[in-house]
Amino acid sequence: MVVKNCVTSIDLGSNSFRVLKLDCISRETIAEFETTVGTADGLSKSDDISLEALNRIIIAIKKSIEVVNYNSSDAIAVTTQALRVANNATFILQNIKENTGVSFTIIDGVKEANLTLLAMQHALKRENLKDDDFVLLDIGGGSTELIIYQDKKSDIKSFPFGIVTLSQSENKKEDFLKFKKEVQIFLENSKHDISNSTFISTAGTPTTVAALKLGLNYETYDKQKVNGTTLSIDEVIAIQKKLKSCSKNELINEVGTGREDYINTGMSIYQLFFNTLKKDISIVFDDGLREGVALEQCSRIMIK
C-alpha cells in the first residue's frame, strides 16, 4: 500500500488565511502560503460574511494552489470563529467549494485550541525548550484561546473576542472590559498555579510584534527568526506607541495590508493577558492551527 508522505492543511481564520504542506516523515515544511482575507470584516454588524470577503477568500485559495501546488480536494481545511457565528456560513462554504474544490470543516474553540496545542508541543520540542508547564495564548481575529498545560493535561478556554470583532465593536470599551472579566474568572476557576509556567504566544499580533522587535517588517518577515523570540510587556507597549505615530502607509509597510486597522487592538489584548497572567515575558512562535491540523493528519496516515 502506498502511503502519502505529505499533507496540506488550510486554516481560514477570521482575518488570515494560511496554508501549509508538511512532510509527514521529517515534519519539515515543504511549502506555505499566508495572506489576509478579512473574513470577519463587518460581521459584527451584519451577522453575515460579506460577498467581498467571500471573493477575497476564493482568490486567496486559488493563489495558494499555485504557490503551494496542492490538490484542492485533498487539503484538510478548517475554519473558525467567523464561520461559527455567521448566519450565512453554509452558503459561504458551499460557494467556496464550488469555486475552488476546497471543503472546509467548521471547528469549535476547544478543537481549535487542542490543535494549536499540538503544534506548540511540537515546536517546543523542536526548539529544545521546556514543554511540560506553559500557558499558551492564541490571539485570533474572531476569538482568542487560552490554554494552561500542566502535568500532561490541558485546561482550555475560547473567548469570543478577537482583534477584528473588538476593533469593529460598537461598544469596544465595554466589550474589552467584559473580555478582561471573563479571562479573570477563567483563571480564578481553573485553580492552576501558573506562577512558574512559561508564557507562550502565537498568531498574527505576537509574531508581528516580535518581527518588529527584530527589525523586520511584513515584507522581510522570517518565521525562523521569530520562533523563540522573547517579548516583554514593556517592549509591546513601546512598539504599540511607535506604531500609533505611523501614517497609514507606514503602518501597512510595517504590519501588512489588512492588519493595519487591527494591530492596536491586538496589542491591547496582548497586554491584557500579560497583566492578568502576571507575566513579564512571553516566548513567541509562528506555529499555530495550520501546523496542528497537518500534524494530526500526518499521525493518522502514518498509522495506516
In the structure, what pLDDT confidence band is assigned to residue 2 with cuts at 50, 70 and 90?
A: very low
Q: What is the pTM (predicted TM-score) of this model? A: 0.90
Find cell 472590559 and name the residue.
177
Domain that holds residue 52: 6-108+290-303
pLDDT tens column, 158-188: 998 889 889 888 888 999 999 999 999 999 9
Whether pLDDT at 304 is above 60: no
- Rounded alpha-carbon distances, angstroms, from residue 253 to 202, 220, 256: 21, 10, 6
Return all residues near 81 (Cβ < 8 A) that are at least 6 apart: 13, 14, 40, 109, 140, 141, 142, 143, 160, 162, 165
The answer to whether residue 171 sits within a structural domain is yes
181 and 86 in a single domain? The answer is no
Same domain, 76 and 39: yes
Same domain, 245 and 279: yes
pLDDT of residue 44: 81
Measured CA to CA, the distance from residue 220 to residue 261 in angstroms comes to 20
Question: Is there a single domain that holds both residue 198 and residue 235?
Answer: yes
Query: What ranges make up the beta strands (E) of the chain?
Result: 6-12, 16-23, 29-36, 76-79, 104-106, 133-139, 144-150, 153-159, 198-202, 229-232, 281-285
pLDDT above 90: residue 30: yes
Which residues make Cβ contacts (< 8 Å) with residue 252, sequence separation at least 6? 218, 260
113 assigned to some structural domain: no
Cβ(33)–Cβ(42) below 8 Å: no
- In this prediction, residue 302 carries a pLDDT of 66
Phi and psi torsions of 225, nearest 5°: -75, -35
In a domain, 117, yes or no: no
- pLDDT, mean of residues 187-191: 89
Band (pLDDT 50/70/90 cuts) for residue 3 is very low
Residue 42 has pLDDT above 90, yes or no: no
Task: Determine the pLDDT at residue 142.
Answer: 86
Number of domains in the chain: 2
